Amino acid sequence: MKYLPVFLIFTFFLSSLSAEINEPVRHQVFPGMILPSSELVSRTQPSGDEIVSPAQFDRVEGVLLAWSGWDQELIRDISYVISQDDCVYMLVSSIFNQAVASSFLQAGNVNMDNVYFIIDPDISGTSMWIRDYGPFYIYEDGVRAIVDFFYGVYWGDDDIPFTIAAEFDLDIYESNLMHHGGNHISDGNGMAFCTTNIFDYNPSYSQHDVRAIFKEYLGIDSLVVIDKMNSDGTGHIDMFCKLLSDTLFIVGEYAIPE
């Protein structure tokens, strides 16, 4: 059985508009970064009889974005298209930034009747990759819920799934497995795809343990793990392929850097 996910998560984030605009940071394990341990947090997991991870190509009810000092024009353009028929859920860091974002979007003829703001003052101002730290949606016995994996790049961003869960009154389940949304593709039928980052980022877990967590939290019976793309700092699967249906992939072809 297939279910519709709550939101499609785009890769944008917020920073203070008065601050200097920086290029977005690539998400990778950097020197000195503390990788997760199985003892870091107490884990809570779904207990339902049927756990379903929606397919990324399924229909959605809205798009989750975040207002950023970086490339506001692109965020505005995406919001303009989406807001014509669907909802835009926009994360902002403060009431002030909400007012600034609202003014900018209105000037771009965004349909503000379909824009809803969510305030979280603890989000970092340095990362825009909400696709990576945002919530993973599941259906637990047909009821929407959220899974929060360990993000580990910017601590403030790690709490975003809890903000979304509180905003929409959804159950949330926490795991300290480090897993980024950009390294996750689901076909909606119990199969998921990611790169070897999932093992590299979680040295305290065996491969068997990682697969068991995918099963327990996301209902993934078959986890397909492939090599990372050469010369890509993120190591995420979404850098080179996308699932268009449960039988069709689109894969990028890139020249080897010299």
Residue pLDDT, tens place only, 208-219 = 999 999 999 999
Beta bridge partners of 250: 242
- What is the per-residue pLDDT for 192? 97
Contact 194, 237 (CB under 8 A): yes
Span 38-77, pLDDT tens digits = 444 446 889 999 999 999 999 888 989 888 767 789 889 9
Q: Are strands 171-178 and 143-150 parallel, antiparallel or unpaired?
A: parallel
Average pLDDT value for residue range 86-105: 94
With cut-offs at 50, 70 and 90, classify the pLDDT of residue 127: low
- What is the per-residue pLDDT for 123? 74
Contact 139, 145 (CB under 8 A): yes
- What is the per-residue pLDDT for 70? 73
Give this prediction's pTM.
0.82
Dump strand ranges (E) for the chain: 8-9, 51-52, 62-66, 87-92, 115-119, 136-140, 143-150, 171-178, 185-186, 191-195, 222-226, 241-245, 248-251
Span 128-171, pLDDT tens digits = 678 888 999 999 999 999 999 998 887 778 889 999 999 999 99
Give the CB-side neighbour count of residue 7, counting CA atoms within 13 A. 23
Contact 34, 114 (CB under 8 A): no
